[in-house]
Amino acid sequence: MEPNTFLHNGSSYALGTSNATILSNPSSYALNTPISQSFNLIPQNTVMQNKVAVFKVTRDENNKITDTKFIKELWVETKNQSVEFQVARDKDLADYDANDLFIKTIYTVTF
């Protein structure tokens, strides 16, 4: 999920990040940061084309990244699936261990 996406479940809003901020009363809240981002309201059944870059990472014994190698740039279509799930279906990436791959969304086109 993109970090600038609002989700709505009928009674509250949440900012679509891994540490979502729940706004139980969206009509009376204040943001501590300037509103310079545009927030996208995206329905859950929206078809999205995502341009992603895939990297192979090497980690040390402390699980810190020591080396990266660009593997591939590709487009994946998502509707209800995650970008990671769609990238995993790519046959060119079948030889790589999923734990060694890093997937970064470059941009998304919504229809």
Over residues 47-55, the mean pLDDT reads 94
Q: Which two tokens stand for residue 56?
A: 């192979």
| 80, 45 contact by CB (below 8 A) | yes
Mean pLDDT of the chain: 74
Domain boundaries, the chain: 1-42, 48-110
Of the candidates 20, 26, 46, which has an alpha carbon nearest to the alpha carbon of residue 109? Answer: 46
pTM above 0.85, yes or no: no
Confidence tier at 49 by pLDDT (50, 70, 90): very high
